[in-house]
Amino acid sequence: MKKLALISTLLLAGSALAASPADTLVIQTAGDVPTLDPGVTYDTASSALVDNMYETLLTYSGASLTKLEPLLATKWTVAGGGRTYTFDLRKNVKFHNGDTMTCADAEYTFRRNIVTNSAESGNWFISESLLGTQANANDDKSVTWAKISNAVKCNTAGQLVFTLPKVDPAFLAKLAYTGQSIVDRKYSAGLGEWSGAEGDWKQWVGKDLTGSQLSQKPNGTGAYRLVRKDANNYLFTAFDGYWGKKPSIKNVIQQKVPEQAARQQALLRGDADIIEASGRAVDEAQIKGKPGVTWIDDLPNTTATAIFMNENIKASSLLGSGKLDGQGIPANFFSDVNVRRAFSYAFNYAQYIADVQKGKGTQRTMLLPDSFPGYDAKVKTYKFNASQAKAYFQRAWGGNVWKNGFVLTANYRANTPASQTAMEILKRNIEAINPKFKVNIQAKQWSEMLASSKKGEEAMILIGWAPDYADPDNFISTFYASDGFYSPRSNFKDAQIDKWNAQARATVNTAQRNRLYSLIANRAYEQAPYILVPAPVAYSFHSSRVTGEGLTKATYNPMTSLKWQGLTKK
């Protein structure tokens, strides 16, 4: 404990810890950690820490995205035509404060998540599974205590039982999400969090848990417990009472180091073991091939990114004259499929891969990671073809686009070279097709763009999606459904796609779901609602002193945070 106290004192005082000892893992990141409360964890920075302090009922098996295995559960059964899930829970599991985990804690966890279900959390998708709505009780009056308590409860045998209003093929994958980690009911209530009872549940509806008492004083069942934290440093130590594999590394320190060069130098000197990446071009130039660094390339990328073409632009400031008179565009400019196809042919995908991704990119056929079930590599893709773009522009709006021209204003994320380059490629190629075509691009702060695009005010926006759970529904519904999460940004609606998507969400038959997703992808190619931005090839790097699970290509899983307990250090 003397060494731990010394490390704590040095780090929390802001001192450098050169040549980190073999029993201590040092991590440096650029930004803040929003929360340590699982109930509101919905970002990678928070997940990286919560994943090591808390545990879910089940988790992904190794590097697989399709196979799930028990964690705090030991087994489960499915009944009622896929609507009832019964979990046996692991015995003799201790929370960091010494409390023994019981079914009541698991019951409390899920009820707390669907009661609070704030905009800051990812609880909308577990609420949709358990209650049939993404909203909380403030926004959807059909959400009652009876519904909540019946959706998840402990039976007399001490098993946790979920009862779904309808089949959800993604339900098990959702349970593996960090935000569904089990918390201690008695401990949490003692801190002043929700009691777990009917008497005060309405007071907690929609409550933002980001700065909760549980976030300040976390108490999980995971392999590491928090010792101390301040604005820039977190200190963890291995939990002696952990039920599973005992960690090899005793202490973990995470430091906030905003300066990119400082993080890189710390890694190269051996002061840090793992640092936040800065982007392929920078990291390849500054880190790759350097002594003491292990570089892992060609890892799966599970994000999907597109340039949206909004079919109902609600910001008049971006429309110019608001007409197809050569001085602007109408609000529904992109509702003509010929315009969307023309724009899709005008984007130079190969150039983007070369300039932005340094050749390490891939053009996908649909807005779904190619490592996910449901991906169809046989679907056609758009290639840069100025002649094809010209032909579709000539057809658009009865020939008026080609005859009169247009002025389009599109924003891109400020201080983001990839977004800027993508829009510059599009601007240059479209303006070269017809001198009457004008595309004005301008930088805009990301927070402003997110807010305005959600209201349908952006004409175009380049934005991506990272999965909450490894199921195609998390992408297909998000991008393509007329009521999907991104629908307000594109205003794309297609009745046939909605029908196929509803069918895919109502069956657990994998082959049938894959067939439906192929149909959706082919229909999306025809309708061209988005310009599919090539996906980068993922990579990682770390100190060569550190080895273990998650740090090799064979053990890397993009759906899980790096688990410190599986690491060793020389």
Cα atoms found within 13 Å of the Cα of residue 47, Cβ hemisphere only: 18
Q: What beta strand segments (E) does 246-390 contain?
A: 251-256, 274-275, 293-299, 304-309, 361-362
Residue owning tokens 């763009």:
449
CA-nearest of 187, 184, 201, 178 to 108 is 184
Q: Is 279 helix (H, G, I), strand (E, B) or coil?
A: coil
CA-nearest of 249, 117, 245, 150 to 236 is 249
Confidence of residue 3 (pLDDT cuts 50, 70, 90): very low
| More confident of the two residues 18 and 50 | 50
Tokens representing 238 are 């291995």
Question: Could you report the per-residue pLDDT of 477-495, keeping only the tens digit for each?
Answer: 999 999 998 999 999 999 9
Residue 151: its pLDDT value, please? 98
DSSP H or E stretch at residue 451: helix 446-454
Question: Could you tell me if 70 and 106 lie in one domain?
Answer: yes
Question: Could you tell me if 405 and 447 lie in one domain?
Answer: yes
Task: Say which amino acid occupies 512.
Answer: Q
Find out whether 263 and 293 touch, Cβ atoms under 8 Å.
Answer: no
Residue owning tokens 């090799």:
552
Question: Could you report the per-residue pLDDT of 167-187, keeping only the tens digit for each?
Answer: 999 999 999 999 999 999 999
Question: Could you tell me if 275 and 317 lie in one domain?
Answer: no
Q: What is the DSSP-derived secondary structure letter of residue 328?
A: B
pLDDT averaged over every residue in the chain: 95
Confidence of residue 248 (pLDDT cuts 50, 70, 90): very high
Question: Could you report the per-residue pLDDT of 196-214, keeping only the tens digit for each?
Answer: 999 999 999 999 999 999 9
Say if 283 falls within a structural domain: yes
State how far the Cα of 369 lies from the Cα of 402, in Å rounded to an integer: 36
Say if 49 falls within a structural domain: yes
Angle between helices 473-480 and 510-527 (to 10 degrees): 30
Q: What is the DSSP-derived secondary structure letter of residue 245?
A: P
Q: What is the DSSP-derived secondary structure letter of residue 64?
A: -
Confidence of residue 18 (pLDDT cuts 50, 70, 90): low
Q: What is the CA 477 to chain-centroid distance, rounded?
A: 14
Q: Which domain holds residue 330?
A: 304-536
Confidence of residue 11 (pLDDT cuts 50, 70, 90): low
State how far the Cα of 250 lies from the Cα of 312, in Å rounded to an integer: 55
Q: What is the DSSP string of 492-542?
A: ---HHHHHHHHHHHT---HHHHHHHHHHHHHHHHHH--EEEEPEEPEEEEE
Question: Could you tell me if 390 and 435 lie in one domain?
Answer: yes
**253 φ/ψ angles, rounded to the nearest 5 degrees:** -120, 125
Q: What angle do CA 81, 86, 89 make, to 5 degrees?
A: 160
pTM of the model: 0.88
CATH for 266: 3.40.190.10
Q: What is the DSSP string of 531-544?
A: EEEPEEPEEEEEET
Question: Could you report the per-residue pLDDT of 432-464, keeping only the tens digit for each?
Answer: 999 999 999 999 998 899 899 999 999 999 999
Residue 10: its pLDDT value, please? 45
Question: Could you tell me if 527 and 456 lie in one domain?
Answer: yes
Contacts of 120 (CB under 8 A, 6+ apart): 40, 42, 208, 209, 210
Q: Is 516 exposed, middle or buried (0-12, 13-18, 19+ CB in 10 A)?
A: buried
Polymer length of the chain: 570
Question: Could you tell me if 499 and 549 lie in one domain?
Answer: no
Task: Say which amino acid occupies 566.
Answer: G
State how far the Cα of 174 lies from the Cα of 517, in Å rounded to an integer: 19
Residue 446: its pLDDT value, please? 87
Say if 278 falls within a structural domain: yes
Say if 223 falls within a structural domain: no
Residue 417: its pLDDT value, please? 87
Question: Could you tell me if 357 and 391 lie in one domain?
Answer: yes
Question: Could you tell me if 194 and 333 lie in one domain?
Answer: no
Say if 219 falls within a structural domain: no
Question: Could you report the per-residue pLDDT of 84-132, keeping only the tens digit for each?
Answer: 999 999 999 999 999 999 999 999 999 999 999 998 999 999 999 999 9
Question: Could you tell me if 292 and 340 lie in one domain?
Answer: no
CATH for 171: 3.90.76.10
How do the residues of the chain divide into helix, strand and coil, expressed in percent and rounded to 5? 35, 20, 45
Angle between helices 495-505 and 510-527 (to 10 degrees): 160
Question: Could you tell me if 399 and 410 lie in one domain?
Answer: yes
2 pLDDT exceeds 50? no
State how far the Cα of 466 lies from the Cα of 474, in Å rounded to an integer: 9
Question: Could you tell me if 195 and 71 lie in one domain?
Answer: yes
Say if 222 falls within a structural domain: no
Confidence of residue 299 (pLDDT cuts 50, 70, 90): very high
Residue 6: its pLDDT value, please? 45
Question: Could you report the per-residue pLDDT of 307-361, keeping only the tens digit for each?
Answer: 999 999 999 999 999 999 999 999 999 999 999 999 999 999 999 999 999 999 9
Contacts of 370 (CB under 8 A, 6+ apart): 300, 362, 364, 377, 535
Question: Could you tell me if 562 and 508 lie in one domain?
Answer: no
Residue 31: its pLDDT value, please? 87
Tokens representing 19 are 């040549």
* Count of domains observed in the chain: 3
Say if 221 falls within a structural domain: no
Dihedral, 260, 261, 265, 268 alpha carbons, nearest 10: 70
Find out whether 406 and 557 touch, Cβ atoms under 8 Å.
Answer: no
CA-nearest of 466, 397, 409, 408 to 437 is 408
Q: Which of 183, 213, 243 is the last residue of a domain?
A: 213
Say if 472 falls within a structural domain: yes
Find out whether 105 and 185 touch, Cβ atoms under 8 Å.
Answer: yes
15 pLDDT exceeds 80? no
State how far the Cα of 481 lies from the Cα of 498, in Å rounded to an integer: 6
CATH for 525: 3.10.105.10
Q: What is the DSSP-derived secondary structure letter of residue 166?
A: S
Task: Tell me what percent of the residues of the chain surpass a pLDDT of 70.
Answer: 97
Q: Which of 155, 182, 213 is the last residue of a domain?
A: 213
SS (H, E, C) 176-229: CCHHHCCCCHHHHHHCCCCCCCHHHHHHHCCCCCCCCHHHHCCCCCCCEEEEEE
Confidence of residue 12 (pLDDT cuts 50, 70, 90): very low
Contacts of 343 (CB under 8 A, 6+ apart): 309, 334, 389, 426, 430, 528, 531
Tokens representing 562 are 């790096």
Alpha helix (H) residue ranges in 86-192? 103-116, 124-131, 145-151, 171-175, 185-190
Between the alpha carbon of residue 415 and those of residues 32, 122, 421, the distances in Å are 19, 27, 11
Tokens representing 423 are 């829009």
Question: Could you report the per-residue pLDDT of 392-439, keeping only the tens digit for each?
Answer: 999 999 999 999 999 999 999 998 889 999 999 999 999 999 999 999
Residue 415: its pLDDT value, please? 86
